[in-house]
Amino acid sequence: MGSRYIENCFVLVACLIMLGWSLAVIWGCAKFAFGYSNETQWTCYVLDASSYPVEAIPDDTPVSTHFTDVSGRFNWLCEAGFWIFSVQLISLLLANKLPTAKYGAIVTMFLHLVHFVLLNFFRFDYAGQVCSGDLLSLETDGTLGFPYLIHQGQFLKIMAIY
């Protein structure tokens, strides 16, 4: 076997890994953004400097109080991720077939970078950590329900790390 054959095998394996990762991200984003899940879609708000999330903003809350809509942020990240990864995957698959597809790939790579920065900011800021359950004590087993966004937070964390 020549070195060219081994190089082509490595390229093929790398492409298959990237294809698998892209499809997993598209599936996960669709699951959380569009509700293809058996889980109840909860809303999660965090009052500034509070360690506990709330389901809704109480009616008697003063206007000056600042709540962060973490569930809205997470849903937006998943929906944007679904569309960006889908268009990027299609552009990359068609890059050799259509001469203009490479420009779509370049644009979606830029959007992917912007999405990645926002993903890290929204997921790892204080409100994102509260609703994701990162600040829960170690005695809990992650089965807490309302209003924590445990599974969505874990998915976004995996997206940010990998």
Number of structural domains, the chain? 1
Burial of 49 (0-12, 13-18, 19+ CB in 10 A): exposed
State the Cα–Cα distance between residues 9 and 121, nearest whole angstrom.
37
Pairing of strands 45-47, 67-69: antiparallel
- Look at the block and give the residue holding tokens 């909860």: 42
State the Cα–Cα distance between residues 148 and 139, nearest whole angstrom.
16
Instruction: Give pLDDT tens digits along the chain (162 positions).
Output: 577 888 888 878 887 888 888 888 888 888 888 875 555 567 888 887 777 777 777 666 665 567 888 888 998 999 999 998 888 888 777 767 777 766 777 788 888 899 999 999 999 998 898 888 888 765 455 555 667 888 888 889 988 887
Per the structure, the complete domain to which residue 127 belongs is given by 3-161
> Within 13 Å, how many C-alpha atoms sit on residue 8's CB side?
5
By the 8 A CB rule, do 160 and 120 touch? yes
State the Cα–Cα distance between residues 103 and 110, nearest whole angstrom.
11
By the 8 A CB rule, do 75 and 33 touch? yes
State the Cα–Cα distance between residues 157 and 151, nearest whole angstrom.
10
